[in-house]
Amino acid sequence: MKFVKIVNDKEKYIDYEIKPINQKNRKEVNEILIEEWEETNIISRGKIIDGTKLNGFVAIQDRKIVGLITYQIENQKYHYMLIMDCQLEMS
């Protein structure tokens, strides 16, 4: 999947692979949560939610997770818990 970012009036194409959070990448996702938020629990709407059990997607570039979104479905509605641009660097 290609995304376009405008930098200094020039288009820059960036390739990402979007994958669901799964058993293969869950450990790395949990490490990112701890690195960025100091823990895996997320507080939403007055509830503590275990971030290690949330569904979501990762953006991968050069075999590295550079973006993350997690969500929870409650009462047939999506609740987005966390959207992160983990390590994406643009120049």
Question: In the prediction, which pLDDT does 62 show?
Answer: 84
pTM: 0.72
Instruction: Give the start-to-end residue ranges of the domains of the chain.
Output: 17-85
Could you tell me the CA-to-CA distances from 77 to 35, 43, 82 in Å, in that order?
29, 17, 16
Q: How far apart are CA 4 and CA 44, in angstroms?
A: 32
Question: In the prediction, which pLDDT does 1 show?
Answer: 53
Question: In the prediction, which pLDDT does 57 show?
Answer: 92
User: Which residues 6+ apart lie within 8 Å of 37 measured at CB?
Assistant: 51, 82
Q: Give the single-character DSSP code of 52.
A: G
Q: Mind listing the pLDDT tens digit of every residue in the chain (91 residues)?
A: 555 555 666 666 677 888 999 999 999 999 998 988 888 888 877 888 899 999 999 988 888 898 888 888 877 776 666 666 655 444 4
Question: In the prediction, which pLDDT does 42 show?
Answer: 83
Q: How far apart are CA 65 and CA 12, in angstroms?
A: 19
